[in-house]
Amino acid sequence: MTERMNAIIWDGTPYPGGLSYGAFDKPTLPEDNWVQIYNRACGICGSDMHAILGRTRHLMPDKNFPAVIGHEIAGVVTALGSAVTDLKLGDRVAIEPLHGCIDFGESCMKCRAGLFQLCESGLNVLGMPNKDMMPGGYGEFSCAHRSHVFKIPDSLSFAEAAITDVLAVDVHAANIGDPQIGMKAVVLGAGVIGLDMLQVLNARGVSEVLVVARHAFQAEKARQLGAARAVLTDQNVALAVADFTGGRGADQVYECVGGSADTLAQAIELCSIGGKIVMIGCATQFAELDIQTMLFKEIALLPSNSYALFKGVSEFAAALSLITSGKVKHKELLTGSFAPSDYEKALDNMLHKRKNNTIKPIFERI
C-alpha cells in the first residue's frame, strides 16, 4: 500500500475553491540517485498564487491533478537512493527545484552544458505546474535529484534557506548583467525578487542602487537592506533617477516586476547611453517599447530566466553562500509563518500584501 502524507492539495480549480488539507500519496524515490526530504519550510511564491488562481493551469496535463505545489523548500533528508553516498539521513538541506531532462536519464545539449533552466525537453520544476508535477513543499515530503540537494549549515534556519530559490534568480540576473563596482543601478520592484536583487548588487560592490517600490513599507525595507535611495512608483521616478545619476541615467536597470506593468518601457527611459536592462520579472503583456531609443543609445535588453550553472558554478550554491556569509539577509524578508493546515490565512496574507506588509510568508512544519 502506498504511504500517505499530509498536504495542501490542489484539485486544479481556482482559489477560493480548489484547495484542501488532507492525505496525499507520499512520493517515493524514482531512481537510485534521488533523495527524499521532509519539508520543514516552504516559501509561498507569487507563482504559487498564479497557479492556485488558475492562471498557469494550462501548463500541466489533467492527469497531474490532484497536485501538491510549493517549490521554495528546505528540510531534512529522510531517504536516500542507493547511489547517493555523500548525504545521510537527517542532513539539513535546501532543494534547488529546477530539474532538467538530465536528471531523468536523458541529456539534451543545454543540460549537458549545465544550462538546465533552458532544457530542450522543457523544464521540470518540483512543485510547479508542469508536465510531471512532482509533489512540492506544500506537502510533508518531496523527492529531488541528488544534484539539486544542497546541505545547509546549522546557522541557517529552514525558513531562510527555503527561499534560496528566489536569491538564485537574482544571482543569475547579476551574472547576466555583470555589473561593475562604481556603477549606478536601478531596481524596479521591491517584492522579494527586487529586495534580493538589491542585496546581490550590494554584495557585488555596487553600492549605488536606487529601488523603485510600489508600497511605502517596501521602500522602507529597501532602505534597511542597503538601498542608497528608495522612491515610490507614484513619485516622479524619472526625476529621481536623473538626480541620482547626475542626469546620465542608470548604468544598469534590473526589472523585477513583470505581469502587466509597463516597467520595461520605463526601464528604457531610465537607462543611460550604452546601459543594460536585465529583464527578470515575468511580463505577461508589453507596453510599446521605444526600440529606436534602444538602438540609438545602444541599450541592451538581457532576459534572465531562472538560474542554473554560470561558467560551471552553481548559482544556487552561490546564493546559499551569500546567505550563509550574511552578505544577503533573508530573516528580514520573512514576514509570516503559517502551519500548512492554516493555508487560508497564509493565502489571505499573500493576497493582501499592503494591508499585511507582506514580503515573504512561509509554511513551516515541526
The residues of the shown chain that bind Zn ion, judged by CB under 5 A, are 45, 100-101, 108, 111, 119
Least distance in Å: CB of 195 to Zn ion?
A: 14
- Looking at the Cβ atoms of 180 and 284, the one nearer to Zn ion is 284
C-alpha cell at 101: 531532462
Closest distance to Zn ion from the beta carbon of 118 (Å):
8
C-beta of residue 144 within 8 angstroms of C-beta of residue 136: no
* Length in residues, the chain: 366
Q: How many other β-carbons are positioned within 10 Å of the β-carbon of residue 121? A: 15
What gap in Å lies between CA 348 and CA 341, rounded to an integer? 14
Q: Which residues contact 42 (CB under 8 A, 6 or more apart)?
A: 70, 72, 73, 127, 136, 137, 138, 162, 340, 362, 363
Contact 164, 94 (CB under 8 A): yes
Which CB atom, from 45 or from 320, has the smaller least distance to Zn ion? 45
CB nearer to Zn ion: pick between 101 and 167? 101
Nearest approach in angstroms of CB 319 to Zn ion is 13
| Amino acid identity, position 6 | N
Read off the C-alpha cell for 115: 544550462
Q: Are 221 and 195 in contact (CB under 8 A)?
A: yes
Nearer Cβ to Zn ion (9/45):
45
Dihedral of the alpha carbons of 171, 173, 174, 175, in degrees to the nearest 10: 90
> Measured from the CB of residue 11, what is the shortest distance to Zn ion in angstroms?
22
Q: How far is the CB of 101 from Zn ion (least distance, A)?
A: 3
> Which lies closer to Zn ion via its Cβ, residue 126 or residue 156?
126
* Cβ atoms within 10 Å of 356's Cβ, excluding its own: 15
**Least distance from C-beta 3 to Zn ion, angstroms?**
28
Residue 19 vs 44, nearer CB to Zn ion? 44
Q: List Cβ neighbours of 160 (8 Å cut-off, separation of 6 or more).
A: 323, 330, 331, 334
* Nearest CB to Zn ion, comparing residues 177 and 191: 191
CB of 79 to Zn ion, least distance (A): 25
| Nearest to Zn ion of 45, 308 (CB atom) | 45
Closest-by-Cβ residue to Zn ion is 45
Least distance between Zn ion and beta carbon 121 (Å): 5
Residue in 33, 252, 37, 229 with CA at minimum distance from that of residue 127? 37
Give backbone dihedrals phi and psi of 60, rounded to 5 degrees, phi first. Answer: -130, 140
* Residues paired with 35 in a beta bridge: 80, 144
